[in-house]
Structure 1
Amino acid sequence: MSFNFTGKTVVVTGAAQGIGQAIAYAFAKHGASVFVCDIDENLLQETVKKCGGTTQGRQVDVTNQQAVKAFIQEVGSVDILVNCAGGVRGQEGKPIESITVDEWRALFEVNTDSTFWCSQAVAPLMKEKGFGRIINISSGAGLGISLTGIQAYASSKAAQIGLTRQLAHELGPYGITVNSIAPGFVRSNPSSEKQWQKFGEEKQKQILDSIAMRRLGKAEDIANGVLFFASDASSWITGQILSIDGGK
């Protein structure tokens, strides 16, 4: 399957590294005008440099509704939104009784709230055109359990999946599709690499043995799924969650 996004404007959040960077690069490679954002401005410039062409980067805190609105207003008409910002914000798994209010809310802000604010900002523009693609990068943890044991991560990613389904029904009549990708474990950034090393050899082997393909994924594997959801080939697919996890 070949992709051509010439003439399309794409926004990718959380694009400073890892999966987000791979997604931005894939769209740029296939002709799109790409706007990337992240809270880490220095790393984001590496993405802009790698993508080249018409790619532009902005430092944006996507947990801030007003900052998101200002960013989207600057971009203008958006054809494709990829909500990739998210993660564990440095948290590690620990017993439920020790979780603080701030720790719990922090992961909902970055994984769920940001998806809502960004989708909310682009929706009116997409409605006007009668076309749009919103692709949310969730996690296998949102469909099952978190390998790290972080309760708020699993819960916030599950909430993001629920939001995907709800928005698909709300926005479908306007020609807008909303889908989600649930990646398996991908060693794509320092945070995921730290998690992987912390598992230890025995648990690493257990994880690999539970995957049909017997390997971890790459950021490019996730980007390929995003390209499909953004393409005309998926025009009658919405409200769906695609697990890209090597087979579970």
Structure 2
Amino acid sequence: MTMAFDGQRVLVTGAAQGIGRAIARHFAAQGASVFAADLDLAGAEATAQAAGPHCVAHRLDVTDRVAMRALVHSLGVLDVLVHCAGGVCGQVGRPLEDVTEADWRSIFAVNTDGAFWACQAAAPGMKARRRGRIVLIASGAGLGISLTGIQAYASAKAAEIGLARQLGHELGPFGITVNAVAPGFVRSNPSTEAQWQALGEERQAQLVQGIAMRRLGQPDDIAHAVLFLASEQAGWICGQVLQVDGGR
């Protein structure tokens, strides 16, 4: 099965590292014009360099609705939107009574709010063309629990999955598919590496033994799933969440 994206315009948020970088790189390799957006402009530029001439870096704070709308407007009508920006904002697991309002809201802002602002900005152009693909990068934590015990992260990713389902029904009549990918544990950036090290050798071994494939995921594993959901071959898949976790 060949998945080609020649001439398609693809926006990837959270593209400065890890999974977002892999997604941008794979789309560019398949002929897409890729816009790699991230608050970390230097990281996004490194992604663009790795992806080649068909990828351009942009600075973007996904929590800023006005900035999101301005960027999408400047790019023209998108064929594909991938919201990969997110994460735990440097937080660690704590008892719920120790979580501050600011900490709770910061995780929702980048994960759930950012996903909504991105979809809201991209949808009008896609609706006018009656075609589009939206893929939200959620997490296995949104379907189960956060391995690190971060309540806001599990909640925000569950909300992101719910958003994909809801928007799939709203935008499907316009020829737009909306789906979510829920990765398992992937050591893809400094935050996930710190989480991995904090587990300790015993819990690391237990985690791997709980995976059917007996290995952790790689950013490319997630990118392959995203490209499939964005492809013509996935044109009748909408409002779904695809777990890419090696079998849990």
When the two structures are superposed, what TM-score results if normalisation uses the length of structure 1?
A: 0.99
Q: Could you tell me which residue of structure 1 aligns to residue 234 of structure 2? A: 234
Q: Could you tell me which residue of structure 2 aligns to residue 10 of structure 1? A: 10
What amino acid is aligned across from residue 30 of structure 2 in structure 1?
A: H
Cα distance in 2 for residues equivalent to 1:213 and 1:43: 31
| Structure 2 residue matching 1:200: 3-state secondary structure | helix
Q: Could you tell me which residue of structure 2 aligns to residue 64 of structure 1? A: 64
Q: Tell me how far 1:2 sits from its aligned partner.
A: 1.5
| Structure 2 residue matching 1:69: 3-state secondary structure | helix
Instruction: Trace 1:113-192 onto structure 2 (pairs within 5 A).
Output: 113-192=113-192
Cα distance in 1 for residues equivalent to 2:234 and 2:170: 18
Cα distance in 2 for residues equivalent to 1:114 and 1:151: 18
Cα distance in 2 for residues equivalent to 1:72 and 1:96: 37
Q: Tell me how far 1:44 sits from its aligned partner.
A: 1.1
Cα distance in 2 for residues equivalent to 1:219 and 1:56: 20
What amino acid is aligned across from residue 64 of structure 1 in structure 2?
A: D
Q: Could you tell me which residue of structure 1 aligns to residue 219 of structure 2? A: 219
Q: Tell me how far 1:4 sits from its aligned partner.
A: 0.7
Cα distance in 2 for residues equivalent to 1:213 and 1:54: 34
Q: Tell me how far 1:52 sits from its aligned partner.
A: 1.1
Cα distance in 1 for residues equivalent to 2:130 and 2:73: 18
Cα distance in 1 for residues equivalent to 2:205 and 2:54: 42
Q: Could you tell me which residue of structure 1 aligns to residue 108 of structure 2? A: 108
In the alignment of these two chains, the number of paired residues is 248
Cα distance in 1 for residues equivalent to 2:104 and 2:247: 30
User: Conserved in 1, the CA contact under 8 Å of 2:135 and 2:178?
Assistant: yes
Q: Tell me how far 1:43 sits from its aligned partner.
A: 1.1
Cα distance in 2 for residues equivalent to 1:3 and 1:163: 26
Cα distance in 1 for residues equivalent to 2:152 and 2:34: 31
Structure 1 window deviating more from structure 2 (134-143 vs 39-48): it is 39-48
Could you report, residue by residue, the CA deviation over 1:190-236 in whole angstroms, capped at 9, with x for unpaired residues?
A: 11011000100000011001000000000000000001000011000
Q: Could you tell me which residue of structure 2 aligns to residue 32 of structure 1? A: 32
Q: Unpaired runs of 5+ in structure 1?
A: none
Cα distance in 1 for residues equivalent to 2:77 and 2:16: 22
Cα distance in 2 for residues equivalent to 1:161 and 1:119: 13
Q: Tell me how far 1:54 sits from its aligned partner.
A: 2.2
| Structure 2 residue matching 1:133: 3-state secondary structure | strand
| Structure 1 residue matching 2:78: 3-state secondary structure | coil
Q: Tell me how far 1:53 sits from its aligned partner.
A: 1.7
Q: Could you tell me which residue of structure 1 aligns to residue 74 of structure 2? A: 74
Cα distance in 1 for residues equivalent to 2:93 and 2:118: 28
Could you report, residue by residue, the CA deviation over 1:17-69 in whole angstroms, capped at 9, with x for unpaired residues?
A: 00000000000000000011000011111001001122111111010000000
Instruction: Trace 1:88-99 onto structure 2 (pairs within 5 A).
Output: 88-99=88-99
List structure 1 segments (4+ residues) > 3 angstroms apart after TM superposition.
none
Cα distance in 2 for residues equivalent to 1:28 and 1:42: 19
Cα distance in 1 for residues equivalent to 2:2 and 2:10: 18
Percent identity over the alignment? 58
What amino acid is aligned across from residue 162 of structure 1 in structure 2?
A: G
**RMSD value over aligned CA atoms?**
0.5
Cα distance in 2 for residues equivalent to 1:155 and 1:187: 21
Q: Tell me how far 1:81 sits from its aligned partner.
A: 0.1
When the two structures are superposed, what TM-score results if normalisation uses the length of structure 2?
A: 0.99
